[in-house]
Amino acid sequence: MDIKRAYRFRFYPTSEQITVLAQTFGCARFIYNHMLRLRSDAWMKRHEHISYHETSAALTIMKKMPDYTWLNEVSSVPLQQSLRHLQTAFGNFFAKRSSYPTFKCKDGNQSATYTDSAFQWNGKTLKLAKMKETLNIIFSRTLPKAAKVTTVTVSKDTAGRYFVNFLCDDAVSVKVPVNNQIGIDLGLTHFAILSNGEKIASPNVLRQNETKLVRLQRRLSRKQKGSCNRAKAKWKIARLHAKIADTRKDFLHKLSSRLIDENQVIAMESLAVSNMQKNHCLARSISDAGWGEFVRMLAYKAQWYGRTLVQIDRWYPSSKRCSDCGHIVSKMPLNIREWTCPECGSIHDRDVNAARNVLTAGLAELVCGENVSPVLL
């Protein structure tokens, strides 16, 4: 199967490369913000639609103006790619996949994208346009020899770390079919409860570092704005947030890969995570769990490796239904973690029973295509 795959590595630039990257990041950010303002004003004031081609022509004119000659000091490719990213952002907005595009901030994550005409890659070293030396990349793994690098994205996060992403045309092979199926019930006390009875503990990365994060944020609030000490305090907070995000992503990747390797069919509920986060009592815990990212990882890995991911209706009464006889109780408060079926007398662990029902419903939907959301009386 032919896919687009990104490989991410950390690199350590020289002082000269830091200067070039800072200029490139700034110019790419300026073009994105400038054209976003141009397109927004054109619509709000004159109801005029400005396309990508018109912004590209406007960029060419800008680079010839005396006030914007500094745009010529960096490679033109990242500037052109900023316009493409803006066009993609508007496309996602009109397709109702995201909110309206927002302006980029110089204190946030910075990035610049280079196409094959603006970098040199020989399989071992990478050299970007406007740079004299190759990047000092720490390769944690080797890129496949058959993979063709199409674009390179250089980024800098708020913790001051530099990364390079290789987007490649790659091919993956389907994994050997297995006879296992699994149902997953996501939770907060345990991250995931499987239909085979296994309970996977939640990493709670944010909760574990919450005390340290609060202490650093209080120190930041006492620093004078614009001072070097305030900049150091912000960097410490950013570094802690980066550690939290990396730990969470590592956990989600390992768990999703394990489930894909061991099971042919994976069933789970289709959760509306954004709506669930409106509950202010649970919003932080839900965000810390990373349910949405976990489902995204399972979806693309299942597509890559020939597995099947089934998401049943979110209103299916998986917790109220007896997995042995199918009886549905009228109420099941959250404080009840174990219950006995009044019909057949089976004793159920609430979460394990829900996972088994999710698997049964997922297989029924997969095989029969039936509606697995019965109407409750």
pLDDT for res 339: 84
114 and 166 in a common domain: yes
In a domain, 167, yes or no: yes
- b/e code 186-195 from CB counts within 10 Å (16+ = b): bbeeebbbbb
212 and 88 in a common domain: no
76 and 142 in a common domain: yes
330 and 241 in a common domain: yes
* Residues forming beta bridges with residue 121, ordered by sequence position: 126
Could you give the count of Cα atoms lying within 13 Å of 115 in the half-sphere of its Cβ?
9
The catalytic residue positions are 185, 269, 351
Tracing tokens 């399972």 back to the chain, one arrives at 298
137 and 191 in a common domain: no
pLDDT for res 162: 97
186 and 124 in a common domain: no
Token pair in block for residue 25: 């990041």
In a domain, 219, yes or no: yes
185 and 159 in a common domain: no
pLDDT for res 369: 63
pLDDT for res 336: 84
Total number of domains in the chain = 2
In a domain, 375, yes or no: no
In a domain, 304, yes or no: yes
Q: Which of 147, 171, 195 represents a domain boundary (last residue)?
A: 171
Q: Which of 153, 171, 189 represents a domain boundary (last residue)?
A: 171
Which residues form the domain of 7?
2-171
Distances 301 to 135, 247, 257, 263, 333 between C-alpha atoms, Å: 31, 20, 8, 12, 35
In a domain, 261, yes or no: yes
167 and 194 in a common domain: no
204 and 143 in a common domain: no
In a domain, 213, yes or no: yes
Contact 318, 357 (CB under 8 A): yes
In a domain, 374, yes or no: no
286 and 210 in a common domain: yes
Specify the pTM.
Answer: 0.87
127 and 82 in a common domain: yes
Q: Secondary structure of 100-157 in the HEC alphabet? A: CCCCCCCCCCEEEEEEHHHEEECCCCEEECCCCCCCCEECCCCCCCCCEEEEEEEEEC
pLDDT for res 372: 47
pLDDT for res 146: 77
362 and 265 in a common domain: yes
Q: Which of 140, 171, 202 represents a domain boundary (last residue)?
A: 171
Split the chain (377 residues) into runs of 10 and give each run's mean pLDDT. Answer: 90 96 97 96 92 95 94 95 96 93 94 95 93 94 86 95 94 90 90 92 91 96 94 95 95 95 92 81 86 92 93 86 87 84 86 91 79 40
Q: If phi over 0 gives left and psi between -120 and 50 gives alpha, with beta otherwise, what is residue 51?
A: beta
In a domain, 92, yes or no: yes
